[in-house]
A and B are shown apart, each in its own frame.
Chain A
């Protein structure tokens, strides 16, 4: 049985991090060079960690499956990054950011972690500006802010619609400096396929060189995973094509607890699916909801075009159901309602899309006014769909976007495996059951620049982990396992392509473990996924060899893990007999149809321990809310 100790420091919420920083053991500067640290992933979380650990003098080995660290999925983030600077003098504060994040997460995150996140948020902006990140500015030369995702204060910093790119390139620059100075050794085009444990402690990884297919063993005194989220389990999502769960999942199978896998975020404003060949879904910035009105026809299976449907036959369903917030309800509420109207057959031409209409905004501020605010988004829409959104309303539909769940970590961001740390979207820690807009970038950089540099030092100074020879039996045995898994994949030689099976998995998940879930559907999903996994292992076709560049094999090995993770997501959703944040159970709703949390029974983190394929043991970390009072979200 695994042990979960959140290791939250003593003291009031505002003092915990300071107290902890003071009481942590330090590594003598002269000794830092003697410690090797492996960092897997070079997105915001990984690149910032590598840079800072390198600066401190540790010997860092960094890994990514991309051809360059700059390609990480973080590059695609659009909207912005939050911080509690209160530059707008609108009564923002560390406490308010903390409060909003706990409440936004529907009271399913750990208060102490969230407070620290809010506390270091301001340092992140300072750091990025010093790196030369060209954030948006006011005419007077100060930094500009906007309000994002329904927040009541303007705390979001941004760089046009490319905030993720600019932040990642800043971190990439700092990482490059450390590579140049010889403190970080960069391994591109390497995919981590297993974690090596020696006496239960993380000591290294096995990676596959994606150009040659060669397996390599890398040893270190601590391993950091910053490998991103897992919503590509749905096949179609807003994540980059290669985003996957393999690093986390293999660590999970070595003993790391997986927490809250059912908490996934489905983003309301994405482009609808265009057809069978669709490979991914494109996010349209949420800011569009500030001026666009969402509607569908009142009639079922209405084949008329938008402009043929008269005003009185349109149903502005969000405005109707949520008069106070209207089109600005939180992401989960907006997404779920789009699903409902499409389920009723009232989506665009009876299909799975709803209108996002700017006619009112055109009348109010003119087409030029709209162009000023959203010009690049309108262009992007036209480029992709071939339709002119200045003439016909946009069509949107929700898409899987972000995973709040992930590997369980304690306050130090260490998993239950000593020496294994998890940062960024890959961990479960800060967003509870729902993530607020512009908070993922903040969390990735908080973890990498300002948390891990302290907490990993404490681990190294306290546990004094020894170096292990990568030729030792543990390393060789792990490599052999990986070798055998690859052989197994290549030897099935069935009839279905990897994508075909992945698409089937996606259909099961989006249908039964997506925006709304219920007991029967979840039990069915578990059964269906088990069967699909069988199908995969008897009927998948993976062409080519292991000892070469083989993209089919790369995908197959990721899908094999998704087929296990998908089952755990359904199992976790079935276990959680309540609705909270992104997890909505049909059986648990208020008479008005809103999410019904059950704090007395479910105010806990569900941390799953892997036993064998299809079998897990559930451990609970109870959550206490001593600073933010438990309350029901209401957007009526």
Chain B
């Protein structure tokens, strides 16, 4: 609740649509250190609207770091300079007076720009649709305590399941790979008894969907883990790789059986 303000030079990416040429627009903005970066953008937009100008298009919803809607490249880093922090949780007190701040959209071949700071991340949904679930119908579940799961396994599964689907890992990766995102889902199920029946089909289907939707391959640089707001561990990628190898073995064996 302080009265002191920061003055920042903002360079914000503007781009009319997918095919238009983009550019940085410059703003000098006074902002309270208590505001979040998105609240600062709200203020910039209110000023633009009051002048009859087109506001900057950007997305957000929960503003609590859990829905995965927000996601900007701030100062060259997806979700900005703080680790384990989503864009919406980035407060202006983390910046210095008169600092110049570049604000850009997530950039990746798999995330075409829609307008200004909004990108199309529907590829991530397509990967989940290919197999990010257990196949059973409502009503057929046994009692919840019928299968015991060790606390350790449940905690590890939750560590992986905490992924918010923001796509920062993809934007951070020089190959635009989504393996951290896929690894997180695959691991959640690989760790739980409920995920076992479809364990290998799932990993194959999700990896295939990743390839089909213009995500690149992983070369183990681990830039993804550093930018992930949820701190999803690269050990999930290792689990993905190992399951994928096994899946190939399993499916080549079954194919031989069929022949």
A interface, CB within 8 angstroms of B: 48, 51-52, 55, 66-71, 73, 75-76, 85, 87, 123, 125-132, 134-143, 159-160, 162, 164-166, 169, 172-174, 176-177, 179-180, 188, 211, 240-242, 272, 274-280, 282, 351, 383-386, 449-450, 453, 495, 497-500, 541, 543-544, 549, 551-552
Mask for B93-119, Cβ within 8 A of A = 1, else 0? 100000000000000000000110010
Q: Which of A68, A73, A85, A276 contacts B62 (CB 8 A)?
A: A73
Interface presence of B240 (CB below 8 A): no
A131-B134 contact given A141-B148, A499-B42, CB 8 Å threshold: yes
Q: Which of B35, B115, B130 contacts A277 (CB 8 A)?
A: B35
A176-B125 contact given A73-B61, A242-B61, A274-B34, CB 8 Å threshold: yes
Contact across chains for A51 and B138 when beta carbons are under 8 A apart:
yes
Determine the chain B residues whose CB is within 8 A of the CB of A174 once the complex forms. 133, 138
Which residue from chain A places its CB closest to the CB of B193 in the assembled complex?
A132
Compute how far the CA of A70 lies from the CA of B124 in the bound complex, rounded to whole angstroms.
11
Contact across chains for A453 and B32 when beta carbons are under 8 A apart:
no
Contact across chains for A211 and B114 when beta carbons are under 8 A apart:
yes
Distance in angstroms from B154 CB to nearest chain A CB is: 4
Compute how far the CA of A142 lies from the CA of B151 in the bound complex, rounded to whole angstroms.
8
Compute how far the CA of A68 lies from the CA of B188 in the bound complex, rounded to whole angstroms.
20
Contact across chains for B57 and A142 when beta carbons are under 8 A apart:
no
Contact across chains for B49 and A552 when beta carbons are under 8 A apart:
yes
Determine the chain A residues whose CB is within 8 A of the CB of B42 once the complex forms. 277, 279, 499
A176-B129 contact given A71-B68, A76-B64, A497-B49, CB 8 Å threshold: yes
Q: Which of A173, A242, A275, A385 contacts B134 (CB 8 A)?
A: A173
Contact across chains for B161 and A277 when beta carbons are under 8 A apart:
no
15 contacts between A and B (CB under 8 A): A70-B68, A71-B68, A73-B61, A76-B67, A126-B142, A130-B194, A136-B154, A141-B151, A165-B162, A274-B1, A384-B89, A384-B91, A386-B93, A541-B50, A552-B49
Distance in angstroms from A396 CB to nearest chain B CB is: 14
Which residue from chain B places its CB closest to the CB of A138 in the assembled complex?
B151
Compute how far the CA of A68 lies from the CA of B163 in the bound complex, rounded to whole angstroms.
14
Known A279-B39, A543-B55; further 17 A-B contacts with Cβ < 8 A: A55-B137, A71-B67, A126-B142, A134-B192, A142-B148, A165-B66, A176-B128, A211-B114, A241-B62, A274-B32, A351-B1, A383-B85, A386-B34, A495-B50, A497-B50, A543-B49, A543-B53
Q: Which of A70, A132, A278 contacts B194 (CB 8 A)?
A: A132
Determine the chain B residues whose CB is within 8 A of the CB of A272 once the complex forms. 1
Determine the chain B residues whose CB is within 8 A of the CB of A73 once the complex forms. 61-62, 67
Distance in angstroms from A86 CB to nearest chain B CB is: 11
A279-B54 contact given A55-B137, A132-B134, A383-B85, CB 8 Å threshold: no
Residues 133-152 (chain B) with a chain A CB within 8 angstroms: 133-145, 147-151
Contact across chains for B55 and A552 when beta carbons are under 8 A apart:
yes
Distance in angstroms from A270 CB to nearest chain B CB is: 11
Contact across chains for A140 and B1 when beta carbons are under 8 A apart:
no
Distance in angstroms from A505 CB to nearest chain B CB is: 16
Determine the chain B residues whose CB is within 8 A of the CB of A85 once the complex forms. 144-145
Can you list the 3 inter-chain pairs with the closest CB atoms, starting with the nearest? A141-B148, A173-B133, A130-B141
B interface, CB within 8 angstroms of A: 1, 31-36, 38-40, 42-43, 46, 48-50, 52-55, 57, 59-64, 66-69, 85, 89, 91, 93, 114-115, 118, 120-122, 124-125, 128-145, 147-151, 154-155, 157-158, 161-162, 164-165, 188-189, 192, 194-195
Contact across chains for A543 and B63 when beta carbons are under 8 A apart:
no
A177-B138 contact given A66-B69, A277-B40, A499-B42, CB 8 Å threshold: no
Compute how far the CA of A604 lies from the CA of B158 in the bound complex, rounded to whole angstroms.
44
Compute how far the CA of A147 lies from the CA of B51 in the bound complex, rounded to whole angstroms.
52
Distance in angstroms from A432 CB to nearest chain B CB is: 27
Compute how far the CA of A588 lies from the CA of B32 in the bound complex, rounded to whole angstroms.
42
Count, A-B residue pairs, CB within 8 A: 210
Contact across chains for A541 and B52 when beta carbons are under 8 A apart:
yes
Compute how far the CA of A48 lies from the CA of B139 in the bound complex, rounded to whole angstroms.
12
Compute how far the CA of A277 lies from the CA of B54 in the bound complex, rounded to whole angstroms.
20
Contact across chains for B138 and A453 when beta carbons are under 8 A apart:
yes
Compute how far the CA of A164 lies from the CA of B165 in the bound complex, rounded to whole angstroms.
15
Determine the chain A residues whose CB is within 8 A of the CB of B69 once the complex forms. 66-67, 71
Compute how far the CA of A165 lies from the CA of B86 in the bound complex, rounded to whole angstroms.
16
Determine the chain B residues whose CB is within 8 A of the CB of A87 once the complex forms. 145
Q: Which of A141, A173, A179 contacts B149 (CB 8 A)?
A: A141
Compute how far the CA of A449 lies from the CA of B137 in the bound complex, rounded to whole angstroms.
10
Compute how far the CA of A51 lies from the CA of B138 in the bound complex, rounded to whole angstroms.
8
Distance in angstroms from B20 CB to nearest chain A CB is: 12
Compute how far the CA of A302 lies from the CA of B141 in the bound complex, rounded to whole angstroms.
58
Most chain A CB atoms below 10 A, which of B128, B151, B155: B128
Contact across chains for A280 and B63 when beta carbons are under 8 A apart:
yes
Compute how far the CA of A70 lies from the CA of B167 in the bound complex, rounded to whole angstroms.
13
Q: Which of B137, B150, B194 contacts A141 (CB 8 A)?
A: B150
Contact across chains for A544 and B54 when beta carbons are under 8 A apart:
yes
Compute how far the CA of A241 lies from the CA of B145 in the bound complex, rounded to whole angstroms.
37
Distance in angstroms from B63 CB to nearest chain A CB is: 5
Compute how far the CA of A174 lies from the CA of B165 in the bound complex, rounded to whole angstroms.
17
Contact across chains for B61 and A71 when beta carbons are under 8 A apart:
yes
Compute how far the CA of A52 lies from the CA of B136 in the bound complex, rounded to whole angstroms.
10
Determine the chain B residues whose CB is within 8 A of the CB of A240 once the complex forms. 61-63, 67
Determine the chain A residues whose CB is within 8 A of the CB of B149 once the complex forms. 137, 141
Compute how far the CA of A132 lies from the CA of B48 in the bound complex, rounded to whole angstroms.
46
Determine the chain B residues whose CB is within 8 A of the CB of A242 once the complex forms. 61
Contact across chains for A275 and B141 when beta carbons are under 8 A apart:
no
Compute how far the CA of A242 lies from the CA of B143 in the bound complex, rounded to whole angstroms.
37
Contact across chains for A67 and B89 when beta carbons are under 8 A apart:
no
Contact across chains for A131 and B64 when beta carbons are under 8 A apart:
no
Compute how far the CA of A128 lies from the CA of B162 in the bound complex, rounded to whole angstroms.
16
